[in-house]
Structure 1
Amino acid sequence: MSPAAKSSFSVGRAVDWNLAATVGGKLARPEPPATDYTRNQAIDQLTEAARAAEIPVREVTGLSEGGEIPEARILNRPDWIRAAAQSMRAMTGGDGEGRPGVISGRIAGAQTGAVLAFVSSGILGQYDPFAVGGGELLLVYPNVIAVERQLHVAPADFRMWVCLHEVTHRVQFRANPWLAGHMSGALAVLTEDVADDVTHVAGRLAEYVRDRRKHADDEASEPNSTGVLGLLRAVQSEPQREALDRLLVLGTLLEGHADHVMDAVGPAVVPSVATIRHRFDQRRQRKQPPLQRLLRALLGIDAKMAQYTRGKAFVDDVVTKVGMARFNAIWTSPETLPLPHEIDEPQRWIDRVL
């Protein structure tokens, strides 16, 4: 195909999503051993905690959309993989017209399933704004059980603490419906086929390599999340780089805001919140085996961990200076979201927006 001939197929249509779900379910790591009593107790407590967390989160954020409190969906690892594959299908245009090539679609499906299997053992919960029939809060109970055991914390407190973070995401999206469209628009740009000449892509990649060499003395020899993101940006078109920046900034804001709310609400509803936060932060920072560090870097997991830290620092700073009510101007439109450089310089966002 010539460079000018752009394909009408998106990334989503090039993946066999049913195979991705099947492969992911088979490759998922075994769940922590637990009795039926422990599993049922975790499911019941997470269900109740997701419901109970809603009101204090609305009160702290000032983002009360009113109405009924939606029920969370409590899943095991294979269930989460199937839900994630279904969401990614919708998010990337996989429900549109057109069918993937049989071989390429199955290869891509198997690769995607392997990635979902790796992620499924670490994710505690998420709010899925692209779920069929509307947004949905997902909580992965085997992982919650595994982490609370690792941290040696009170299970009921930890389950509520996790729900405070994830329910904040539910409130963010339900109170500001435009966020899902903003996110899907950026994803559409990232996943669309581009017609860049190979020489242009190679030129950008060479420029990136030269720049990395200049800073080689200051970088670790192993791949890191910053380096992987830089490599990704090097082969992207300018619209794709701008879309990636929008997604990274939005993700940093959403995660930092949720962490801020979690700590603001925590003392009132989670007696051992200080202990949980301390031990959880230590867990985030612990050293990983080399292969796991590589996989985490390639999948952007370490970059996501940085989002929590940078995003929370931004939200903490702005809320301290202007209060939550004025901070909420950030949810007005895409134009009031932070610009990339403003995440680390909150005063510049205050000056521009407020």
Structure 2
Amino acid sequence: MSEAYVDWDLAKRTGRRWVSDGPQTTPDEAAAVVAELRDAAHRALQPVADTARLDCLAGAESPVFVVDRAAWIDVNVDSMAALLSPVVEALTAKRKAGPRARAVGAKVTGTETGALMGFVASKVLGQFDLAPEGRPSLLLVAPNIVAAERELHVRPADFRLWVCLHEETHRVQFTAVPWLREHLIDRIRTLAVDLVPTPELLQQRLQAAAKALPGLLREGSGGLTDLVGTPEQRAELADVTAIMSLLEGHADVVMDDVGPQIVPTVSDIRRTFDARRKGSVGPDRIIRRLLGLEAKMRQYRDGAAFCRAVQAQVGVDGFNAVWAGPENLPTADEIYAPAAWVARVHG
């Protein structure tokens, strides 16, 4: 049924057309990068788990894959299709378009989705794929890691291990906390279904987007996500964002705690990488703002500040109460008020 509203195969083809292969490497160089990233992921896992004080014995259930940009697009389009299947069902119930109109709409939506995936595929270094209807896995995007290390002029072996520290923290989070994956998938699906507009509301929101465009490009904007409709929807989106901030911030904190132990040039890497995060300009930055990707950068900062503050007050074990159940996750307000979370959870 979902293919009637989104042409997912077209999305994959469009994404591959939009994205380049990445930096030039010889076959031997490419094979060496893949082997080193696999080894780095293996080396990072136990130090990350020990520092986070989380049991990662189930980590083998979520494998590590070193992929190129095209493969990343394929995996993420499949995951998006599975994640949004309830949204498609809601669209089916709300819209009365005939088969021809649906077919045209599916190609338009597929093209737009593919263009978005093509843009992001050249940026992301790694990702824990939740795979809503499949097997979750950790993806390391080799050409992007190579491109970043060349741009930053850092030691490749150290940079690859450093990236794996962050990404392996996500694998540990989701494998050590069994309820977390399904909870996050359910929250995102529920919000997405609730946001599906009627045809009339869709037209109104598109008009609002055109009028709001200058504001969506301002510093601090969440991009197109700022157009979410009701106060209740905005509150739910804020709480889901708080969960993402927790996960990203925790990964950054663990990475920074483990890094000096096993990555010799970690201070240089962190300094140059942070400068890179802040330094995008021109059309690239405009697209990032529209898509809310700059808001994602704030998730690292806000989530890390929350984790550090909580750990300073109650220690790592006290912080780990956050993983006890969904009720212990920080709310949107608590991400900015760690003491309030401590008072609620620890009394």
For residue 305 of structure 1, what is the amino acid of its counterpart? M
- Residues 161/299 of structure 1: CA separation in 2 closer, same or farther (3 Å cut): same
Aligned to 2:267: 274
8 A contact 1:189–1:239 mirrored in 2: no
Distance 2:172 2:216 in 1: 41
Alpha carbons 1:331, 1:337 under 8 Å: kept: yes
Residue number among 258, 261, 270 corresponding to 1:265 in the alignment: 258
| Cα deviations by residue, 1:280-324 (Å, 9 ceiling, x for unpaired) | 0011111411x2221001111100111111111111111122111
Give the superposition deviation at 1:64: 0.7
Partner residue in 1 for 2:142: 141
1:74 to 66, 72, 96: 66
SS at match of 2:336: coil
Deviation at 1:224, TM superposition (A): 3.9
Please state how far the C-alpha of 1:154 moved relative to its aligned partner: 0.8
SS at match of 2:221: helix
TM-score normalised by L of structure 1: 0.85
**In the alignment, is residue 231 of structure 1 matched against residue 226 of structure 2?**
yes
Any conservation in 1 of the 2:310–2:319 contact (CA below 8 Å)? yes
Which SS does the other structure have where 1:137 is aligned? strand
Number of aligned residues? 332
Look up the SS of the partner of 2:154 in the other structure.
coil
SS in 2 for 1:267: helix
Quick check: 1:189–1:240 contact (8 Å CA) kept in 2?
no
Quote the offset at 1:345 in angstroms: 1.6
Quote the residue 2:168 is aligned against: 167
Counterpart residue number, 1:55: 46
Q: Which residue of 2 aligns with 1:254?
A: 247
Query: In the alignment, is residue 297 of structure 1 matched against residue 298 of structure 2?
Result: no
Match of 1:310 among 287, 302, 310: 302
Q: Secondary structure at the match of 1:101?
A: helix
Counterpart of 1:18 in structure 2 is: 9
Match of 2:95 in 1: none
**1:117-145 superposed Cα distances (whole Å, 9 cap, x missing partner):** 00011100000122653210001000000
TM-score (norm 2): 0.87
**Residues 50 and 71 of structure 1 are in contact (CA less than 8 Å); yes or no, is this contact kept in structure 2?**
no
User: Is this contact kept in 2: 1:130–1:180, CA < 8 A?
Assistant: no
Cα pair 1:137 1:166 within 8 Å, conserved = yes
Alignment deviations for residues 12-34 of structure 1 (CA, whole Å, 9 cap, x no partner): 86311111011101111341111
Q: How far has the Cα of 1:237 moved from its partner?
A: 3.4
CA distance in 2 between partners of 1:308 and 1:149 (Å): 23
SS of match in other structure, 1:134: coil
Output one character per residue of 1:27-49: Cα deviation in whole Å (capped at 9) or x when no partner: 11341111222211110011111
Q: Which runs of 5+ in 1 are unaligned?
A: 1-8, 213-218
1:338 maps to which residue? Answer: 330
Residue in structure 2 matched with residue 215 of structure 1 by the alignment: none
Q: Alignment RMSD, CA only? A: 2.9
- Between structures 1 and 2, the one with greater helix share: 2
Residues 187 and 131 (structure 1 numbering): CA distance in 2 closer, same or farther, change over 3 Å?
Answer: closer
* Residues 255/68 of structure 1: CA separation in 2 closer, same or farther (3 Å cut): closer
Unaligned runs of 5+ in 2: 93-98
